Amino acid sequence: MKTILPLIFLSFLLLAVALPGLPGGATNAAPARPAEADSLSQTAARIIGEATASGGAYEKLEWLTDRIGPRLSGSPQAEAAVAWAVREMRRDGLANVHTEKVMVPHWIRGAEVASIVAPAAQRLAVTALGMSDPTPASGVTAEVVEVASFDDLHALGEKARGRIVFYNKPITAHTDGSGYGSAAGLRYRGAAEAAKQGAVAMLIRSLGTIDARLVHTGTHAYEEGVPRIPAAAIAAEDAELLHRLGAKGESVKVHLTLGCKTLPDVESANVIGELRGRTLPGEVVVIGGHLDSWDLGTGALDDGAGVTVSMEALRILKKLNLRPRRTIRAVLFMNEENGNRGGKAYFETHRGEMEKHVAAIESDAGAGHPMGFSVKSGAGGEAILRSLAGKLARIGATNLEAGGEGGVDISPMLAAGVPLLGLRQDMTEYFNWHHTAGDTLDKVNPRDLADNAAALAFMAYALADLEVPLPRIPPEERESPDR
Amino acid sequence: MKTILPLIFLSFLLLAVALPGLPGGATNAAPARPAEADSLSQTAARIIGEATASGGAYEKLEWLTDRIGPRLSGSPQAEAAVAWAVREMRRDGLANVHTEKVMVPHWIRGAEVASIVAPAAQRLAVTALGMSDPTPASGVTAEVVEVASFDDLHALGEKARGRIVFYNKPITAHTDGSGYGSAAGLRYRGAAEAAKQGAVAMLIRSLGTIDARLVHTGTHAYEEGVPRIPAAAIAAEDAELLHRLGAKGESVKVHLTLGCKTLPDVESANVIGELRGRTLPGEVVVIGGHLDSWDLGTGALDDGAGVTVSMEALRILKKLNLRPRRTIRAVLFMNEENGNRGGKAYFETHRGEMEKHVAAIESDAGAGHPMGFSVKSGAGGEAILRSLAGKLARIGATNLEAGGEGGVDISPMLAAGVPLLGLRQDMTEYFNWHHTAGDTLDKVNPRDLADNAAALAFMAYALADLEVPLPRIPPEERESPDR
């Protein structure tokens, strides 16, 4: 990838010079024309040109991942990311740059060791699920019982008692990332469900689409009144090994030690910066991603990409003097991964202004090439958005997908009917790296990241500049922010 | 891979039934015909049919990797593998099954932790190189200096003193595995060379072709009279990170702690089993692979595959009653990875019989589809082998490649002029997993493994049955077994 990128970039520059109507250095150097004089297609072209020429999102992402690194809520790095984001937004000349307090969980990973002890001794590649309680210091040893679904688990009845329940459900790679959904529920509720049947621990096959002995963490939730059993993910290879051994009909025993623990909540923050609206500055389009990340990699894809394209989108619009009617507000949320405290705090803090929130767009699906947007809005919204996304044909980000809630961080705004969009990337490779040690900067194609910044900047601009805002989600489709 | 394999297998069975001349279940069930009545093409077909129908190599490999696991020389698992191989060969009815003593190094891995401490704090994925000495318990902290070659290193002169020398040389994937050679020398001699210039430790970018935060171990050698500095490999992602930080011109400091150590040599063994020759049982074709493996994965590709296809080759020939003129001897070597003690011990033990060794074939390049053979022999040998390999057209293993020494384990026999062959697999994906935690059974395609067993069985049979043996390597091309 690294060797061909300069060629791709060069080709783009040559194209930009050769083809009329495409943006080039000269366009950027010319005096900014007022937005009104631009057709939306021209605006899109200028935005795409600036995003590519500056490479600003990648530069930010390099700093965030190389200099700050993993940013789990409550960690010093998460706080360093907050301070950095404030500095960067001020340096970019954004308006109203500030932080808003969020109390976050403070979970820390400790030693984690797992091995098969019978019928053969084998080390397992393992990682605790986020928010798991520890095992006793001496670990837990028990027979493993394999299931592929909650139906399987329930059918076991008493046979899960005293056992380690092992969820073994491979996921598959899709452009739209849809394979993840087939097992994410098992990870999120698997420990609680297993505990209800007397299990002493739960293991789950990593939710990933590459078999490279990589372990994928991710959050899970205990239930009130149900024993809090330790929960961990093992590598695909180790899941296959457990499966093969179990399929022989012998008793398979595993020893698991987890040293993770949950400390008292700590104060952290969402980071906010704005491009103030030209005529209706009190009305707001929110764009954003989440500043926190899992601790195994450096959170380049999840969600350094979303954070930096959101910051870059405002920088581009400001640089090009593209000020829409309404304010565009970048919100860099804290604690998406293990609590969504930032998303909920933003909603609570701004509850009284929700009627003035005309749309929200989240980018939290990596840094693959932008394909388009998901959308949940009132009747007629899709047609408007389809027409707007059509202006992004040059970078192929024209797809409109109905449904979803845009992203975890903005989903609380569903309660207020705010139209919710998600910037949708090609996710074919996303679940190779998501929540693993492999989520690092080298997985990001700088050109794709620039295109994402452009797609987000353009859509935010277009929505903020509509004469009549998008139709809101009707009351019957709204849901409580605390679901 | 897993889902399409049954289809491939089914297609093969259908073909076998539909096409005359291809082996099927019926062929195996028919009374064994004497080898003399078979043309070599028919012999190849019968061998391929039996290998595929039985799946015996995969069954053995499953036991070796799932039940025994990693088999580093000197470990209990290495000894378990010796005992298992003896049992299996006896169960297969091989002749002269026995072990031959080999004294092996006993290196054990300890804690291994590395992190960047300046200009940012970042954890590095690290693993000690085999035979490395430990760091002091408190670790080593020093500035990193990056090089891509020994020329770069030497050009540094005094600038390497007190530093951690970081070898950063990516390798690329090729069908013939040739990318590995471009950096293997840096790994093997890198610590000694760096120490000569006063370095306090060496790090090397993992020699791998997939960037999945995987660390690749491998052996290295100190030099007499040169300080024994600690040596470790880091993941490709971490190499890129060090490179990016270094490229900014700032001082990059790393802290490294390795707890590995070398204990006194212990006794281990090569395992031997034979198919006795029909008319010249004192003359021998050796086939083999190595029983030991690195400790991070389960050594499925390196070299469980070579071991099990060697065992299976003899089982197939015996089952089909294909007894060639000369003896075929499977030698499962111990300690290829960090010493080649098994290869040297075999040569020493059998030095007096080397003139009776008419050829040796090693399989130590994984379990990819067999492409053919490498060969080093006397003049005219290649033409004979090309004609023989041509009989394997059905499985595409017809390629003849001049040069090489067949494999590390058999290379000492070069001193005696024994013609040396290497079974050559498609290595495109081999260096994704080689020497990593990802070298596990799931990387092996059972059909490819069967084809490897067939290719090896056929070539061993054909060489052992030649009227006139292959021309030996001429004296001027021989080399000392202790090079």
- For residue B19, pLDDT over 60 is answered with no
Residue A8, pLDDT > 60, answer no
Fold of B110-259: Glucose Oxidase; domain 1 (3.50.30)
Q: What is the pLDDT of residues B235-265, one digit of tens each?
A: 999 999 999 999 999 999 999 999 999 999 9
Closest CA to B159 of B168, B147, B148, B149: B147
Nearest chain A Cα distance for residue B135, angstroms: 22
Catalytic residues of A: 336
Q: Which residues of B touch A245 (CB under 8 A)?
A: 66
Q: What is the pLDDT of residue B20?
A: 39
Amino acid B482: pLDDT: 67
Token output for A328: 């565009």
The CATH classification number of B5-104+264-477 equals 3.40.630.10
Q: How far apart are CA A457 and CA A183, in angstroms?
A: 33
Q: Do B119 and A62 touch (CB under 8 A)?
A: no
Which chain B residue is nearest to residue A213, measuring alpha carbons? B438
CATH superfamily to which A5-106+264-477 belongs: Zn peptidases (3.40.630.10)
Helix/strand/coil for A480: coil
Nearest residue to B216 via CA among A272, A212, A254, A307: A212
A67·B120 Cβ contact <8 A = yes
Residue to mutate among A71, A213, A214, A295, with most B CBs inside 10 A, is A213
Q: Place B321 in a pLDDT band, splitting at 50, 70 and 90.
A: very high
pLDDT recorded at residue B38? 52
Give the span between the Cα atoms of A217 and A299, in whole angstroms: 12
**Which residues, at least 6 apart from B103, have a Cβ–Cβ distance to it below 8 Å?**
B265, B266, B267, B268, B341, B345
Token pair 């070069």: residue: B414
Say whether A20 sits in a helix, a strand or coil: coil
pLDDT above 80: residue A324: yes
Check if the beta carbon of residue A241 is closer than 8 Å to that of residue A122. yes
Of A279, A367, A272, A359, the closest CA to residue A324 belongs to A279
Binary contact (B297, A213; C-beta < 8 A): yes
B24 contacts B17 by C-beta, under 8 angstroms:
yes
Rounded average pLDDT over A219-223: 97
Q: What is the dihedral of CA B101, B102, B103, B107, to 10 degrees?
A: -130
Residue B199's pLDDT band (boundaries 50, 70, 90)? very high
Size of interface A-B (CB pairs under 8 A): 81
Contact A441 B241 (CB under 8 A): yes
Residue A13 reports pLDDT greater than 50: no
The pLDDT-based confidence of A443 (bands split at 50, 70, 90) is very high
**pLDDT score, position A288:** 98
| Chain centre to alpha carbon of residue A32 | 34
Interface test with B, best of A61, A215, A442 (most B CBs within 10 A): A442
Query: Percent of chain A having pLDDT more than 70?
Result: 92
Residue B434 CA to residue A26 CA, distance in Å, equals 50
Six-digit token pair at A336? 């998406």
Q: Does A32 score more than 80 pLDDT? A: no
Residues of B with CB under 8 A from a CB of A: 62, 66-70, 119-123, 125, 210-214, 235-237, 240-241, 244-245, 297-298, 432, 436-438, 440-443
Residue B34 has pLDDT above 90, yes or no: no
- The torsion of the CA quartet B93, B94, B95, B99, rounded to 10 degrees, works out to -120
Closest C-alpha to A318, from A306, A330, A307: A330
| Partner residue facing B438 (CB), from A68, A213, A245 | A213
CA dist A57 → A24, A256, A308, A457 (Å): 18, 41, 5, 12
Per-residue pLDDT, averaged over A196-200, amounts to 98
Mean pLDDT of chain A: 93
Q: Does the distance separating the beta carbons of A212 and B432 come in below 8 Å?
A: yes
Say if residue A37's pLDDT is above 90.
no
pLDDT of B368 above 90: yes
pLDDT confidence band for B10 (50 / 70 / 90):
very low
| pLDDT-derived band at B480, boundaries 50, 70, 90 | confident
Q: What pLDDT does A483 receive?
A: 62
Average pLDDT over residues B449-460: 98
Specify whether the CB–CB gap between B252 and B246 falls below 8 A: yes
Nearest CA in chain A to B444: A237
Q: Å from B38 to nearest chain A CA? A: 39
Chain A residues close to B119, C-beta within 8 Å: 67
* Nearest beta carbon to residue B213 from set A68, A120, A214: A214
Query: A76: nearest CA in chain B?
Result: B121
Domain-by-domain residue ranges, chain A?
Answer: 5-106+264-477, 110-259
**Is the per-residue pLDDT at A212 higher than 50?**
yes
pLDDT in tens, B382-398: 999 999 999 999 999 99
| Residues A149-182: tens digit of each pLDDT | 999 999 999 999 999 999 999 999 999 999 999 8
Task: Give per-residue burial for B123-150: e unless 16+ CB within 10 Å, then b.
Answer: bbbbbbbbbbbbbeeebbbbebbbbbee
Contact present, B115 and B255 (Cβ < 8 Å): yes
The token pair that represents B129 in the structure block: 């190189």
Secondary structure in 3-state letters for chain B: CCCCHHHHHHHHHHHHHHCCCCCCHHHHHCCCCCHHHCCHHHHHHHHHHHHHHHCHHHHHHHHHHHHHCCCCCCCHHHHHHHHHHHHHHHHCCCEEEEEEEEEEEEEECCCEEEEEEECCCEEECEEECECCCCCCCCCEEEEEEEECCHHHHHHHHHHHCCCEEEECCCCCCCCCCHHHHHHHHHHHHHHHHHHHCCCCEEEEECCCCCCCCCCCCCECCCCCCCCCCCEEEECHHHHHHHHHHHHCCCCCEEEEEECCEEEEEEEEEEEEEEECCCCEEEEEEEEEEECCCCCCCCCHHHHHHHHHHHHHHHHHHHHCCCCCCEEEEEEEECCCCCCCHHHHHHHHHCHHHHHHEEEEEECCCCCCCEEEEEEECCCCHHHHHHHHHHHHHHHCCCEEEECCCCCCCCHHHHHHCCCEEEEEECCCCHHHHCCCCCCCHHHCCHHHHHHHHHHHHHHHHHHHCCCCCCCCCCHHHCCCCCC
CB contact under 8 A, A297 and B213: yes
Least confidently predicted of A134-138, A176-180, A186-190: A176-180
Residue A49 corresponds to which tokens in the numbers above? 């040109």
Residue labelled with tokens 């020939």: B317
Q: What's the pLDDT band for A19 if we cut at 50, 70, 90?
A: very low
- The model carries a pTM of 0.91
State the smallest CA–CA distance between residue A280 and chain B in angstroms.
Answer: 43
State the pLDDT at residue A21: 38
B360 close to B291: Cβ distance less than 8 angstroms: no
Residues of B serving a catalytic function are: 336
Chain A residues within an 8 Å CB radius of B70 = 123
Task: Give the CA radius of gyration of chain A.
Answer: 23
The answer to whether residues B252 and B244 touch, using CB atoms and an 8 Å cutoff, is: no
Which of A172-181, B344-353, B376-385 has the weakest average pLDDT?
A172-181
Mean pLDDT of B93-103: 98
Q: Is pLDDT at A33 greater than 60 in this prediction?
A: no
pLDDT of residue B265: 98
